[in-house]
């Protein structure tokens, strides 16, 4: 059965997500406290509700993309008050790790299922329907949301029980923002060396689309130390050798130019162990 889907929170990412739903074969009902995006969604074929409670009484799956934990709790509380039988609430907002479990417990007492389903890919991914959605919840609850998720995303992962989607999103964004910080360190080094930072950025974006960037090493199901007979041992030992060489060169350049590169020094110390290889001291 094709679900009727509701959407609350038509902001920078929520609005293009809802527009993808409106362009699909799903019936869509929206609510937001701001009038302009609601008007745009109506123009795209969606219907509107006068409140979250009304919306929850008209839909099978309710998508929530609001600002923070407090707003998510408020929306869920209103939704529970008007929920139709069998309602599943998909929380796309990134919340604290313990919030989904608490929300699911509260909702279950009223016959409402909760899936935590944060997204990755930003406004661009939302606009073109290529988001990654990381879902946490029961099989039945996630299955109820799949037609909705598939209309908005290029990749849907059932990460595990309730809360697993949020934990996966936090791990993904840990990498994301550490990488941003590393990029600022690289920019300072490049600027001190008299290089064009815009050209450096273009090189990074170009080569990351080829190599996969940091995700290119994420093929193992464990972070345990590698056995020397493991296929990945030789691959990662090669990565380690290249990485340590280039990091030493970059740190030497930074020292010559008087640039502080603490992340590079930390990476040099931690690269081998992080890849599952013995450090030079252990070898």
Question: Which of the residues are catalytic?
Answer: 169
Tokens representing 73 are 């709790």
Tokens representing 212 are 């996969």
Distance of CA 47 to the CA centre of its chain: 28
Query: DSSP code of 127?
Result: H
Distance in angstroms (rounded) separating the CA atoms of residues 239 and 218 = 13
Query: DSSP code of 221?
Result: S
Ordered DSSP codes for 38-93: HHHHHHTT-EE-SSHHHHHTT-SEEEE--SSHHHHHHHHHHHHHHPPTT-EEEE-S
Query: Quick check: 134 and 117 in contact, CB under 8 A?
Result: yes
Residues 6+ apart with CB under 8 A from 38: 10, 30, 31, 32, 48
Buried b (16+ CB within 10 A) or exposed e, 73-106: bebbebbbebbeeebbbbbbbbbeeebbbbbbee
What is the C-alpha R_g of the chain? 23
């Amino acid at each position: 059965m094709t679900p009727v889907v509701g959407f609350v929170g038509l902001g920078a990412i929520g609005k293009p997500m809802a527009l993808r739903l409106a362009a699909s074969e799903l019936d869509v009902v929206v609510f937001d406290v701001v009038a302009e995006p609601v008007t745009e969604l109506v123009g795209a074929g969606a219907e509107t509700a006068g409140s979250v409670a009304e919306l929850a009484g008209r839909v099978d799956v309710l998508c929530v993309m609001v600002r923070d934990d407090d707003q998510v709790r408020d929306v869920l509380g209103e939704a529970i008050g008007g929920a139709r039988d069998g309602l599943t609430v998909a929380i796309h907002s990134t919340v604290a790790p313990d919030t989904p479990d608490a929300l699911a417990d509260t909702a279950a007492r009223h016959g409402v299922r909760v899936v935590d389903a944060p997204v990755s890919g930003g406004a661009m991914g939302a606009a073109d329907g290529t988001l990654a959605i990381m879902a946490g919840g029961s099989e039945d609850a996630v299955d109820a949301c799949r037609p909705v998720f598939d209309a908005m995303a290029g990749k849907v992962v059932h990460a595990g029980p309730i809360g697993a989607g949020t934990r996966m999103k936090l791990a993904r964004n840990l990498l994301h923002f550490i990488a941003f910080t590393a990029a600022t360190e690289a920019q300072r080094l490049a600027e001190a060396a008299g290089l064009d930072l815009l050209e450096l950025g273009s090189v990074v974006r170009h080569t990351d689309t080829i190599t996969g960037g940091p995700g290119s090493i994420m093929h193992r199901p464990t972070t345990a130390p590698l056995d020397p007979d493991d296929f990945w041992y030789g691959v990662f030992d090669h990565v380690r050798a290249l990485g340590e060489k280039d990091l030493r060169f970059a740190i030497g350049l930074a020292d010559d130019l008087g640039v502080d590169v603490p992340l590079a020094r930390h990476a040099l110390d931690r690269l081998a162990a992080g890849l599952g290889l013995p450090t030079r001291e252990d070898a």
